Chains A and B, each alone.
Chain A
């Protein structure tokens, strides 16, 4: 009688991990059906035909599914993935923060807000902007705060700030798409999906049972990263060597490749501690950088030189990640897959 309704709910529950469904699905279906059925045979038959999960119910199951997939109870393998994802999210937030610091430094320098600095080259002068510029600067500030709150372990605050921080980006993209002023077909969208949306979604891996992050190395990474990443880029800009400046996806490929190269000796050493978690993190970051590079190739179809440069960047990141991938695979192989859960013993 209630088969149709039950089937619709079971379809939604397929979002949940198998081990969780084995334990909870039956009970969840009963609760869903309880929320609809009245006990009156005719009414229930009608309800079963027309009713189904609301968007709010589907969303609540989807949110639970994301949390369980990213941060389910601690089997070693899941814990390894969880830690790698948390480090990858912190790395992306660091990249956002570096970008933001750079934007704000240029803003202050370009508008001569710091009197003792020499006048910037004409190419770096920032003209006064409108409302969108103001929103952009606020988003930049927000990413610095998000990175710091994540590093200090205030995960909930970081999540709350991150959601509004990615909204202006998608609004601007929609506006550009609808008004036909989108500079490239896919690049800006894939930037938003991979570098804004996915990390914010993955912030669910920072659950309250997650082991705390050591803030010191991440806090040091902000000034050090700025000097190491944007120092050379600034030098190229100031000296007018714009042809050597990589685009953002190229920069991501170069940075991930350098990180893989720096980590490779440790990954290959048998004395390495923390079994392959950094290798796993770098594999995740390389996958993001590689995907971003592949999609943005389509932005350069008109320019064979840029296509060649992009392909070289892609090859470099592939070669670099190959150095740490075996260590990442060992880390996962060393941790057994979760055993199938036993049914709970129920008191009767």
Chain B
């Protein structure tokens, strides 16, 4: 799973969001490290929808334009949980190695 897809799924984890809402949420989650352009966002959304990880939730009129909201599917929630676990496990290994090499360097 790419970093962008991971952040988009995470942005939808606590409820449906529309396109620009996802952009803002991803920026906040990543502390502005990931700033999705609309073209990139819809590339990711199209791929995630094709993989069955997200689906449209509803459309709402806002200032004369329709905002489409997206939500995680059950598969999407499972994929996100697995990816988060994988990343956390990787981070644990990295931290352990850093501690090990740090101890060797100072020891």
Contacts and interface: CB of A to CB of B under 8 A. Distances in A.
B75 interface: no
A61 B42 CA distance: 9
Interface string B60-104: 001111111000000000000000000000000000000000000
Contacts of A34: 18-20, 62, 67
Of A2, A26, A56, A64, chain B has the most CB atoms within 10 Å of the CB of A64
Contacts of B56: 344, 346-347
Contact count band on B: 20 to 34
A64 B65 contact: no
B38 A39 contact: no
B28 interface: no
Interface string A21-38: 000101111111111010
A31 B41 contact: yes
A31 B66 CA distance: 10
B58 A32 contact: no
A64 B67 contact: no
A28 B44 CA distance: 13
Contacts of A346: 56, 58-59, 68
Interface residues of A, number: 29
Interface in A26-68: 26-35, 37, 39, 56-57, 59-64, 67
Contact of B39 (A27, A37, A57): A57
Contact of B63 (A27, A37, A61, A73): A37
Contacts of A30: 18-20, 62, 65-68
Given A73-B50, A346-B59, A29 B39 contact: no
Contacts, number: 75
A62 B39 contact: yes
Contacts of B43: 63-64, 67
B65 A33 contact: yes
B11 interface: no
Interface string A63-91: 11001000001000000000000000000
A38 to B, nearest CB: 10
A37 B20 CA distance: 12
Nearest to A65: B39
B32 interface: no
Nearest to B41: A31
A37 B50 CA distance: 30
Given A35-B20, A346-B59, A29 B65 contact: yes
Contact of B46 (A20, A33, A347): A20
A33 B66 CA distance: 11
Given A31-B42, A32-B38, 4 more contacts: A30-B62, A30-B65, A56-B37, A346-B58
**Nearest 6 Cβ contacts at the A-B interface:** A60-B39, A31-B19, A60-B37, A34-B20, A61-B39, A64-B39
12 contacts: A29-B65, A34-B18, A34-B19, A37-B63, A39-B63, A59-B37, A62-B39, A64-B40, A64-B43, A67-B43, A344-B56, A346-B56
Interface of B: 18-20, 23, 37-43, 45-46, 50, 56-59, 62-68
